[in-house]
Amino acid sequence: MTVRRRVVAIAALAAATLALGACAPAGPAAAGAGSGDDGATKITFMYSPYADYAGFFVAEEKGYFDEAGLDVELIPKGGSSGETFQHVSTGNVNGGGASWGAGLFNATAAGSSLAVIAGVSRVPDSGPNPAPLMASEASGIEDLKDLKGKKIGTPGQTGFGIYSIYKALDSVGLTLDDVELMNLSPGDIIPAMANGSIDASWTIEPISSALKQQGIAHEITDTSYHAGTELGMMLFNAKFADENEEAVVAFLAAYLKAARELKDGGWQDPEIKKIVAEYTELSVEALESIALTDVDLDGKIDWTSVAEQEAYMRELGVLEFSGESGIEKAYRDDIRTKAVEKANQTAKG
């Protein structure tokens, strides 16, 4: 998708959001599949301009979605995962990528039309940290224990960011009560760190690399405190997935093809670097140094990790239900299994 098409898509989504607020439809307004000019099944899918969405960018620009008989429109989101849950559950878009958090658990427990399809990212067990906790160079913070009494930026207090901060603090015997949390959107982290409004912050690539390259902040720990934690998943409107299962299987299979290509040396391919640079608005050179999330090449999800995140959100008091969310009941492992088979057949063929 060209930059111009993505800008148009943002405008269309914003207009649809206003319409949703004004009309408050009772059910999915656009859950059914449309068709492109060539008869291909139309799928609208929301993404964030981060490197862990690279598989979607590559599948779109290298024609893997087209080969699967799909007319895919990738739509960048302007906010949090909560935005994705809202648009997908109402059918304003067909699917999207998001991180785990209270918003998803609350929506699932409330019976929203959401179907989890596959995992797309998790924190690696070792190596560079793709979602590090960083401290400003001016703060004097060198160790996690130095965070006591400091101001820490977080993108809200109900999602992966706050869970990651909790894990970091807990690893040295501190709690959230030992710090002062400051709510910041990802785009506000760099200026807040630079002007001294915060001492440290949860970050994510490519923001973390930008902070290091500009000499504004440094990492204060390795990945050990949250190694292996499930970070992102792919979900679809449940009604759309029920009525267009073959299309969703094809979408996931095309994504897996791209994800496997990336894992198999694709990040060194100049063509792929150019694609990812366009979608993330990074320079090709900047992509050389970013830390990457881990990807299960069959889209599997570590449900133990998800359960731990839900349990923490309950402890934090941000869940709007009692008992379990039932998130695993919203999991379409049958679609994932079929997509893996399709991707494997494509690779052999």
User: SS3 helix, strand, coil % of the chain, rounded to 5?
Assistant: 50, 15, 35
Burial class (CB in 10 A: 0-12, 13-18, 19+), 126: exposed
- Shared domain for 295 and 166, answered yes or no, is no
Specify the CATH number for the domain of residue 201: 3.40.190.10
Q: Per-10-residue mean pLDDT for the chain, 349 residues long?
A: 41 39 36 64 94 95 97 88 91 96 95 97 93 95 96 92 96 97 90 96 89 94 94 97 98 98 94 94 83 95 97 96 95 98 88
Task: Say yes or no: 45 and 119 in one domain.
Answer: yes
Domain range holding 70?
3-123+229-348
Output the pLDDT for position 28: 34
Is-contact 264 274, C-beta < 8 A?
no
In total, how many domains does the chain have?
2
Give the helix/strand (H/E) hosting 42: strand 41-47
- Residue that is last in its domain, among 192, 226, 260: 226
Q: Does residue 290 lie within any of the structural domains? A: yes
| Whole-angstrom distance, CA of residue 293 vs CA of residue 311 | 23
- State the pLDDT at residue 30: 46
Q: Is the pTM of this model over 0.75?
A: yes
pLDDT at 277: 92
What's residue 32's pLDDT? 57
Q: In whole angstroms, give the CA distance from residue 315 to residue 89.
A: 26
pLDDT in the model for residue 79: 65
